């Protein structure tokens, strides 16, 4: 038996339950979870917002960012040895659809997400397909190993943008935006300008190396970005907030011929000035879904191995039993990454 944080029934909240350790299929591995970090998606499930109501079918153990030790393997597992230390790609892809067969498995049309469509990792143990495991060096502590998944979103957003020598504007300093700051720096950004309403998160952005930190509540963001870029506007926009006003301002502050990576997910359709914000500007706008398989994971590992220090972004580590406090911290918008420790 094991303890797990379960969305037991439709409605807000979650509860700790005792349940059987998951069974393994022939190509599955069983992981003893060392750390499981909380993502905005988990907050949607916890608070039971309209998206969660339409997607999630309780009872469900949720949580999809994690790492741990492989303690059992199915009969047909070949690549992941018993005892390995692994993180996980949260998207279980089909491998058969048009996108998967064209090298675009990150947009697999039959994707199943761990902790959303199938049991997740806010538990002492989780079973995943061998193909989703990412072997990780033990020199990276659990709170770092687990955030390789959300860091991958930042890596993917930056990797498709021409950042070397560029002025980069990043909107939204949630955990993913915060990861993007040192990634942009390591990629050779000339100037990193960030926009974020939360004071605690602006402070974290400075600590992570942002050159200019703006508050959209009090600063004229578009004017300030133009001032900071010699009147040209930002060469690159990394949109990590999902906020409609931020997306509009980001495109307005982009220079002619600039590149925009859009990762933040708006909660409803957004009205944009496409004519002036994109078309006449000749801008390149790219949607970013998850992590490229497995290009992004190799790059993420490379940044970590190069010595990138993400520890300031991990602001809280709590036992699974303190999940209520953990979700309150995430909902406050004042924390960085909040990490649960299901096995102490």
Catalytic positions, please?
41, 44
When binding is defined by CB under 5 A, the residue of 94, 135, 244, 272 that contacts Zn ion is 94
288 binds ligand NAD (CB under 6 A): yes
Q: How far is the CB of 40 from Zn ion (least distance, A)?
A: 24
293 binds Zn ion (CB under 5 A): no
92 binds Zn ion (CB under 5 A): no
Q: How far is the CB of 197 from ligand NAD (least distance, A)?
A: 5
Up-side HSE of residue 14: CA atoms within 13 Å toward CB?
31
Map residues 98-137 to x or -, x wherever contact with Zn ion holds by CB under 5 A: --x-------x-x---------------------------
Distance separating alpha carbons of residues 149 and 128, to the nearest angstrom: 15
Name the binder of 288 from Zn ion, ligand NAD, none, CB < 5-8 A by kind: ligand NAD
* Site residues (CB under 5 A) for Zn ion, limited to 139-198: none
Name the binder of 22 from Zn ion, ligand NAD, none, CB < 5-8 A by kind: none
DSSP reduced 3-state for 110: coil
Q: Cis check for the bond before 294: say yes or no (omega within 30 of 0).
A: yes
Name the binder of 197 from Zn ion, ligand NAD, none, CB < 5-8 A by kind: ligand NAD
134 binds ligand NAD (CB under 6 A): no
Distance separating alpha carbons of residues 113 and 93, to the nearest angstrom: 9
When binding is defined by CB under 6 A, the residue of 82, 245, 270, 279 that contacts ligand NAD is 245
Select the span of 76-84, 116-124, 166-174, 181-189 touching ligand NAD (CB under 6 A): 166-174
Name the binder of 108 from ligand NAD, Zn ion, none, CB < 5-8 A by kind: Zn ion
Select the span of 4-12, 24-32, 57-65, 175-183 touching ligand NAD (CB under 6 A): 175-183
Map residues 186-215 to x or -, x wherever contact with ligand NAD holds by CB under 6 A: ---------xxxx--x--------------
68 binds ligand NAD (CB under 6 A): no
Phi-psi sector, 203: left (phi>0), alpha (psi -120 to 50), beta: alpha
Q: How far is the CB of 340 from ligand NAD (least distance, A)?
A: 15
Select the span of 49-57, 89-97, 140-148, 263-271 touching ligand NAD (CB under 6 A): 263-271
286 binds ligand NAD (CB under 6 A): no
Give CA separation, 296 vs 2, 131, 173, 175, 263, in Å.
33, 15, 21, 17, 15
- The DSSP code for 78 is -
Beta bridge partners of 339: 37, 317
Name the binder of 255 from Zn ion, ligand NAD, none, CB < 5-8 A by kind: none
Give CA separation, 74 vs 24, 28, 80, 135, 331, in Å.
6, 5, 10, 17, 38
Q: Which of these, 220, 183, 174, lies nearest to 303 by C-alpha position? A: 183
E-strand ranges in the chain read 2-7, 15-19, 28-37, 60-61, 65-73, 85-88, 91-92, 112-113, 125-129, 133-135, 167-171, 191-195, 212-214, 234-239, 254-262, 284-287, 314-319, 337-341
- Which run of H or E residues covers position 191? strand 191-195
Distance separating alpha carbons of residues 31 and 11, to the nearest angstrom: 29
Name the binder of 153 from Zn ion, ligand NAD, none, CB < 5-8 A by kind: ligand NAD
Distance separating alpha carbons of residues 8 and 57, to the nearest angstrom: 9
Residues in contact with ligand NAD by the rule CB under 6 A = 39-40, 153, 171-177, 195-198, 201, 216, 240-243, 245-246, 263-265, 288-290, 333
């Amino acid at each position: 038996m094991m303890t797990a944080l379960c969305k037991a029934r439709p409605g807000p909240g979650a509860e700790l339950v005792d349940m059987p350790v998951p069974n393994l299929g022939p190509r599955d591995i069983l992981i003893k979870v060392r750390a499981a970090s909380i993502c905005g998606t988990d907050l949607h499930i916890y608070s039971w917002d309209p998206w969660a109501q339409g997607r999630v079918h309780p009872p469900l153990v949720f949580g999809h960012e994690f790492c741990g030790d492989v303690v059992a393997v199915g009969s047909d597992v070949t690549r992941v040895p018993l005892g390995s230390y692994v993180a996980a790609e949260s998207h279980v892809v089909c491998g058969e659809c048009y996108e998967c067969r064209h090298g675009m498995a990150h947009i697999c049309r039959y994707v199943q997400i761990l902790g959303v469509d199938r049991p997740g990792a806010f538990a002492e143990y989780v079973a995943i397909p061998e193909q989703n495991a990412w072997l990780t060096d033990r020199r990276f502590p659990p709170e770092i190993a687990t955030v390789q998944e959300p860091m991958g979103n930042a890596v993917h957003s930056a990797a498709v943008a021409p950042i070397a020598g560029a002025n980069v504007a990043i909107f939204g300093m949630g955990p993913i935006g915060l990861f993007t700051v040192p990634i942009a720096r390591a990629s050779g950004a000339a100037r990193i300008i960030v926009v974020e309403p939360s004071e605690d998160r602006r402070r974290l952005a400075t600590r992570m190396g942002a050159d200019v930190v703006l508050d959209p509540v009090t600063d004229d963001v578009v004017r300030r970005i133009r001032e900071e870029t010699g009147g040209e506007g930002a060469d690159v926009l990394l949109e990590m907030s999902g906020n409609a006003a931020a997306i509009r301002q980001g495109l307005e502050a982009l220079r002619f011929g600039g590149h925009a990576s859009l990762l933040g997910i708006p909660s409803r359709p957004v009205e944009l000035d496409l004519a002036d914000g994109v078309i006449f500007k000749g801008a390149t706008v790219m949607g970013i879904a998850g992590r490229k398989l497995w290009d992004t994971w190799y790059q993420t590992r490379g940044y970590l191995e190069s010595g990138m220090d993400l520890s300031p972004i991990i602001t809280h580590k709590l036992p699974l039993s303190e999940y209520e406090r953990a979700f309150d911290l995430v909902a406050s918008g004042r924390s960085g990454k909040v990490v649960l420790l299901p096995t102490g």
